[in-house]
Amino acid sequence: MKSPMNIKEYTEGILAKDISVLSRAITLAESSKEEHQQISKQIIERILSHAGKSVRVGITGVPGVGKSTFIEAFGQLLVQKNHSVAVLAVDPSSTLSKGSILGDKTRMEKLSVQKNVFIRPSPSGGSLGGVTLKTRESILLCEAAGFDYILIETVGVGQSETEVHQLTDFFLLLMLAGAGDELQGIKRGIMEMTDGIAITKADGTNIDKAKSARAEYANAIHLFPPTESGWIPEVKTCSATENKGIDEIYEMIEKFVLHAKAKNLFEKKRQHQNISWFDSLVMEKTRAHFFSNPDFLTRYNQAKNKIETNQSTILSAVDFVFS
């Protein structure tokens, strides 16, 4: 057991970029124990004014597309460019297959031993919404520690992207070049959220396929209305294992950052993000508030029972719960 630290020690440790303190603070933030949450809240209150300066890159795509391998290569490029890098993973499925944490660690072997790099696997347990709340806090803690870039790996399962998108500055979608209809299976919503697309594994016999996929996506992107910011998403190909095209993706993100800064977009986005943070906290509290009320719980259970025994329609059962 490590000796307990007080709030001041936590705060100072984080601001001094002490990785082990940062790591412990994230563990507190992820904990569902009330006492841990209390300490965590106080830490976050204190570091908040130091957060908000990193470039947050969300990296999404179906399992196996190469997210972790891409982060290994991209992270090393960032380090070469003298940036410090924090990597957070948001993968609710990893609670099911505990192996994925191990998988990511081996996939980020070289990156994980670099100075100025911090890699944090997915928080385990909890709902998707819960995971996002925790991820937001982890991001803030990493920002306060002064990381230039925060890379957030999220598995492509629909809901989590939307939530992670809310937390990031640049949303990168990784895609595989498929043999069939390139656009099959891609949810329009995700395409609309992306700031950039990279076709992965553009190496060996896959190069031509990757190039034509790139052309197809580049065309598809023009079918979407331009984003509010005026940024037009770019499509690239890359090979993380051969370290090709990674620098072009870095340039794309840097270009985006310049564009966003010139238009004050970061500030606007952070404001927007704060409101959505506020909203999710209020929602969590509202939920907790209702479910800790015995009368409410009784009506809730009665209503469920009425539905099960066909004594009530769903809609009137809902009315009953709030009656």
Ligand X SMILES: Nc1nc2c(ncn2[C@@H]2O[C@H](COP(=O)(O)OP(=O)(O)O)[C@@H](O)[C@H]2O)c(=O)[nH]1
Q: Which residues of 184-209 are buried (b: 16+ CB within 10 A; e: fewer)?
A: eebeeebbebbbbbbbbbbbeebeeb
Rule CB under 5 A: which of 91-130 touch Mg ion?
none
107 touching ligand X, by CB under 6 A = yes
| Contact flags string 220-239 toward ligand X, x per CB under 6 A | -------------------x
Q: Which of 240, 252, 265, 303 binds ligand X (CB under 6 A)?
A: 240
Pattern of binders to ligand X over 37-76, x per CB under 6 A? Answer: ------------------------x-xxxxxxx-------
Q: DSSP class of residue 87?
A: E
Contacts of 51 (CB under 8 A, 6+ apart): 139, 140, 141, 143, 144
Verify binding: residue 154, ligand X, rule CB under 6 A.
Answer: no
- 13 belongs to the binding site for ligand X (CB under 6 A): no
When CB distances to Mg ion are compared, the closest residue is 68
Q: Which residue in 259, 248, 251 sits closest to 226, CA to CA?
A: 259
- One of 40, 60, 68, 312 touching Mg ion (CB under 5 A): 68
Q: Which lies closer to ligand X via its Cβ, residue 55 or residue 240?
A: 240
Q: Is 241 in the site for ligand X (CB under 6 A)?
A: yes
65 binds, among ligand X, Mg ion, none (CB under 5 to 8 A by kind): ligand X
Q: By CB neighbour count within 10 A (0-12 exposed, 13-18 middle, 19+ buried), where does 295 fall?
A: exposed
Diameter of the chain by CA atoms? 66
> What would the x/- binding string for ligand X be over residues 185 to 214, using CB under 6 A?
---------------xx-x-----------
User: By C-beta, is 67 or 165 nearer to Mg ion?
Assistant: 67
- Indicate the SS3 state at residue 191: helix
Query: Minimum CB separation from ligand X for residue 9, in Å?
Result: 35
99, 69 contact by CB (below 8 A)? no
Angle at 124 between CA 123 and CA 128, to 5 degrees: 80
Closer residue to Mg ion, CB minimum distance, 117 or 221? 117
Q: How far is the CB of 248 from ligand X (least distance, A)?
A: 14
Strands 170-175 and 196-199, by their bridges, are parallel
Distance CA(302)–CA(319), nearest Å, equals 12
What one-letter code names the amino acid at 197? I
Q: Does 178 bind ligand X (CB under 6 A)?
A: no
- With CB under 5 to 8 Å by kind, the binding choice for 123 among Mg ion, ligand X, none is none
Q: Would you count residue 11 as binding Mg ion (CB under 5 A)? A: no
Return d(Cα 12, Cα 17) in angstroms, integer. 9
Q: What is the binding site for Mg ion (CB under 5 A)?
A: 67-68
Q: What is the binding site for ligand X (CB under 6 A)?
A: 61, 63-69, 103, 107, 200-201, 203, 239-241
